Amino acid sequence: MPRPLAGDYAPFLETYVNACKGDDVFSLLNYSWDSLNAWLGTIPEEKLHYAYAEGKWTLAQLLQHLIDTERVFAYRAMCIARGEQKPLPPFDENAYAERGNAAHRSLSSLKTEMQVMRKSTIALFNAMNPEDIAAEGIASNHRITVNALGFIIAGHVYHHQRIYLERYC
């Protein structure tokens, strides 16, 4: 399956697709496992409740956001691959971050949940056939393909890894 085309996802998601290298969603997600683990291993405990500016998320909230967003996007991919015809609703990432209880979680628990979530995402995509990957549906009021969702899932983490390096370190 080739890289998703611009019309395969909403324009506001292009940053995430562009953060990914390669053309194959399976290779991309499998490779992302090593990259994700390497990055998680660099995060120091003492930075967990640090926010780089007033009103910005703490690192704990950022990690919870990554978990929540991956879960939502993987759910969308599953629904669309299974033939869901109803539009899938948007979600408010800031409301999720506020209610995510990240302030009460340990770095270890956040890392573990992120790793479990990524393994689950990889397993979901590895179980799909080419027709599943090519399937399209509506999410957040925009047309989207399962293939694009795979790129968006990986690219979303890459995007926030860059922000972490630029603003949290």
Q: Is the model's pTM score more than 0.75?
A: yes
The average confidence (pLDDT) of the chain is 96
Residue type, 160: H
| Res. 157 pLDDT band, cuts 50 70 90 | very high
pLDDT tens figures, 139-148: 999 999 999 9
Torsions phi, psi of 88, nearest 5? -90, 135
Please check the confidence at residue 137 and state whether its pLDDT lies above 80.
yes
Residue 66 DSSP SS3: helix
Give the pLDDT of residue 144: 98
Average pLDDT over residues 108-113: 98
pLDDT tens figures, 34-80: 999 999 999 999 999 999 999 999 999 999 999 999 999 999 999 99
Angle between helix 25-40 and 146-163 (nearest 10): 20
| Res. 1 pLDDT band, cuts 50 70 90 | confident
Residues in the chain: 169
Average pLDDT over residues 71-100: 96
Average pLDDT over residues 20-26: 94
Residue 25 DSSP SS3: helix
Q: What is the DSSP string of the chain?
A: -PPPPGGGS-GGGHHHHHT--SS-HHHHHHHHHHHHHHHHTT--GGGTT--SSTTSPPHHHHHHHHHHHHHHHHHHHHHHHTT--SPBPP--HHHHHHHS-GGGS-HHHHHHHHHHHHHHHHHHHHT--HHHHH-EEEETTEEEEHHHHHHHHHHHHHHHHHHIIIII-
Contact 114, 36 (CB under 8 A): yes
Residue type, 92: D
Residue type, 126: N
Lowest mean pLDDT among 76-80, 96-100, 114-118: 96-100
Token output for 68: 């929540």
